[in-house]
Amino acid sequence: QPIDNPNGWTVAAVPLDDSAASASVLLLAGGHLDLAQLPLLAIAGRGLSVARDLASHSDYATRRADRLAATLKASAGFAGVHEMVPLLEQIADVATDLLACDRASIFVHDQERNELVACPALGVDSGTLRIPDDAGIVGDVIRSGQAVQVDDVTTDERFNPEVDKETGYTTRNLLCVPLRDGEGEIMGAFELIN
């Protein structure tokens, strides 16, 4: 709908899509806009909306393809590692790169000792981190078998701050998923931090 300005200018705003919640508009201003041009402006707005959506989908598809290529390359590299600790370290390193997080730890469940052993334990002086298998969010994931995403660990009562105190690191958010063996039994957890 054009808005007449006392200085002789007309301003027209055309929505770029049909969504009522859309904040995207095509805004035109000039001294020679009239009502007869509104249908053409609406068509132009829809065309721009389609072009914007296609560009967005193309960017998304490109990012997914890049991530898939990196995953395949990493997987090929894993095949050449024959020792468990270096393999777990390599998996954690690749995960931090692919998911743009600060740290990743793979926790192996030591059922005989009722402990979770972080391997690798990044930032821990001894290189080994052992925690009770019922401690923290990772313990909850081991018990429940459900993945957990925490956007702010300070608001989650399951969060165990002891590891941060020991390492001097500050965990802000995390994603933790259970790791299962070939029979579907939980053998550990994979935790991605910040």
Q: pLDDT-derived band of residue 18, with 50, 70 and 90 as boundaries?
A: low
Q: Cα-atom radius of gyration of the chain, to the nearest Å?
A: 26
Same domain, yes or no: 163 and 89? yes
Q: Which residue range forms the structural domain that includes residue 109?
A: 84-193
Report the share of the chain in percent with pLDDT over 70.
83
Residue 147 CB partners (closer than 8 Å, separation 6+): 141, 175, 176, 177, 178
**Per-residue confidence (pLDDT) for residue 33, from 0 to 100:** 67
Flag whether pLDDT at 3 surpasses 60.
Answer: no
| Residue 114: inside a domain | yes
Residue with tokens 């200018």: 9
Query: For the residues 63-85, what does the mean pLDDT come to?
Result: 73
The CB-side HSE value for 171 (13 A sphere, CA atoms) comes to 30
94 and 166 fall within a common domain: yes
Q: Across the chain, what does the average pLDDT equal?
A: 80
What does the pLDDT average to over 108-118?
A: 93
Name the domain boundary from 58, 74, 99: 58
113 and 184 both lie in a single domain: yes
Tell me the pLDDT tens digit for each residue of 127-150: 678 889 999 999 999 999 999 999
Number of domains in the chain: 2
Of all residues in the chain, the percent with pLDDT exceeding 90 is 29
Residue 192: what are its φ and ψ, rounded to 5°?
-115, 130
- Please give the structure tokens belonging to residue 128: 């080994």
Residue 67 domain-assigned (yes or no)? no
Q: For 43-62, how does the pLDDT look when each residue is reduced to its tens digit (9 = 90+)?
A: 777 777 777 777 777 777 77
* pLDDT for residue 170 is more than 90: yes
Do 8 and 102 fall into the same domain? Answer: no
* Contact call for residues 191 and 164 (beta carbons, < 8 A): no
Q: What is the rounded CA–CA span in Å between residue 155 and residue 168?
A: 20
Instruction: Assess whether 170 and 115 both reside in one domain.
Output: yes
